[in-house]
Amino acid sequence: MTDREGDPDIERRYAELPREEPPRALDEEILGAARREAEARPAPLVAPTARRHWYVPLAAAAVVVLSVVVTLQVQREQLDADMSAPSVPAPSDKGARPAVSGTAAEPKVQTRERRAVERPRPPAEPRPEPPAASAPQAVPAKPFPGEAESAGKVAAPVGRAAPIPEPASGVRQTLERKEAAAPAADALSKRVESIEPPERWLERIAALRRDGRHKEADEAYAEFRRRYPEYRIPESLRDKVLPP
């Protein structure tokens, strides 16, 4: 017997049997219950069926995308650390460590520590305006504005340290990164300043003396002598640089 097969004669005779129907009272009872149900508990705005249709694939896609993004981010950070650390020339600064190592949080801590160590000697900073030297405190808390500030600060020393191209490219790479950019740039700028050519250093000290900031000039000169103990100051600069 196939699905359409049957016995037409029996089906015809069956159709002649009395057509019992439910009583009207029962109909009314059922229809009343259906109406009450429809009024009492309206269907949700998003039907369960429809919600189930997109909910699971969307959730799965979100999990996959999130996993990929996090993985790529971690890989990029590691790559940044690998790329930026070797590009920084080993400075004479004994407290210096690689700009980025391991996690993104670590360099921030290092930078903070370094800043605390360096705070007692602000005149050693190569910037002519001291207020600008205290600006990096915004770096850890505000990544994006901090990036811009770091970029501005780093650009100047790099321009002055033209004969040393490697830190400049390192700085440029660092600026493109989000997480490690601020602390790495900060560390680099200090290192670039610390390896400033002696002629420029002396010019800066002379400028400080010219401005009457002899205390800062003395400290800068002392730092200069620690850095370049054998350097012979030209006669033309001697009066302008040496303590009066």
Partner 1 sequence: MEGSDEQLMLAYRDGDAAAFEALYVRHRGALFRFIARSVRERALAEEIYQDIWMRVIEARRRYQPQARFTTWLYTIAHNRLVDHWRRSALHAVSLDDDEAPLAEPAGNPGLEPQRQAQAREGLARLAQAIGTLPPAQREAFLLRVEAGLGIEEIARATGANEEAVKSRLRYALAKLRETLDD
C-beta closer to partner 1: residue 9 or 129: 9
Phi-psi region of 112 (alpha: psi -120 to 50; beta: other; left: phi over 0): alpha
Least CB distance to partner 1 at residue 8 (A): 11
C-beta closer to partner 1: residue 18 or 229: 18
Output the CA torsion 200→202→205→210 (10° steps).
Answer: -100
C-beta closer to partner 1: residue 6 or 130: 6
CA distance 35 to 39: 6
Residue at token pair 């670590």: 106
* 162 makes contact with partner 1 (CB under 8 A): no
Q: Which of 152, 160, 107, 105 is nearest to 133 (CA)?
A: 152
* 38 makes contact with partner 1 (CB under 8 A): yes
Least CB distance to partner 1 at residue 29 (A): 7
* 46 makes contact with partner 1 (CB under 8 A): no
C-beta closer to partner 1: residue 6 or 152: 6
* 8 makes contact with partner 1 (CB under 8 A): no
Contacts of 8 (CB under 8 A, 6+ apart): none
CA distance 97 to 212: 35
- Footprint of partner 1 on this chain (CB under 8 A)? 1-4, 6-7, 9-11, 13-23, 26-27, 29-31, 33-35, 37-39, 41-44, 47-49
